[in-house]
Amino acid sequence: MTAAGTALVEDDGRQKADAIVVLGGDDFGNRILTAAQLAEEGCAPFVLVSGPRLLLGYEPDLTIGYAVQKGYPPTLFRPLRVNADSTRSETATIGKYLVEHGIHKILLVTSNYHTRRAAKLMRQMNPGIETVVVPAPDAFFRPDSWWKSRNGARTFLYEWLKTFATELGV
């Protein structure tokens, strides 16, 4: 069970990069706070925060606001408002931004369970961008105990379904 959970997670370690990229889809703020901490440690000069429109505005604006409330300076962040409905389309949009801004190496921050698939898609959609993955902790998913909670099991199963769909090119 642990091996199946661990297989979803990629962790390339903290490194220097041109930018830190946070993928949308985090309801608890762990992705944005992990990225902000990396930036404050000097891993990159800024955090590019991606995400779609939600009920009350664009996700990047909301998550950046959350990080600012937690004490991080607003100048650390750049919002990237995307019209994406999948990780595949989000990584394609992010890639265009990165190329336009001369960014060659990124730290990609997303939830731990999402790292393997997100990294694969980022590299596939943007072969000229070096992608280093740093997982953010997730409130419900731990690779070594995901099966002990309903939310953990749901996260595990849903991510594996998406991983299989990605392998099929869907």
The CATH number of the domain holding residue 92 is 3.40.50.620
Please report which confidence band the pLDDT of residue 43 belongs to, taking 50, 70 and 90 as the band edges: very high
Total of domains in the chain: 1
**Predicted confidence (pLDDT) at residue 38 exceeds the cutoff of 90:** yes
Give every CB contact of residue 28 below 8 A, 6+ residues apart in sequence. 138, 139
Residue 80 lies in a domain: yes
| Per-residue model confidence (pLDDT) at position 170 | 82
Residue 147 lies in a domain: no
Point out which residues pair with 106 in neighbouring strands.
19, 131
pTM, entire model: 0.95
pLDDT tens-digit profile of 98-148?
999 999 999 999 999 999 999 999 999 999 999 999 999 998 999 999 999
| Per-residue model confidence (pLDDT) at position 169 | 85
pLDDT tens-digit profile of 64-78?
999 999 999 999 999
Residue 162 lies in a domain: no
Residue 150 lies in a domain: no
Average pLDDT of the chain to the nearest whole number: 96
Residue 133 lies in a domain: yes
Residue 161 lies in a domain: no
Residue 85 lies in a domain: yes
111 token code pair: 């939830």
- Parent domain of 130: 9-142
Residue 131 lies in a domain: yes
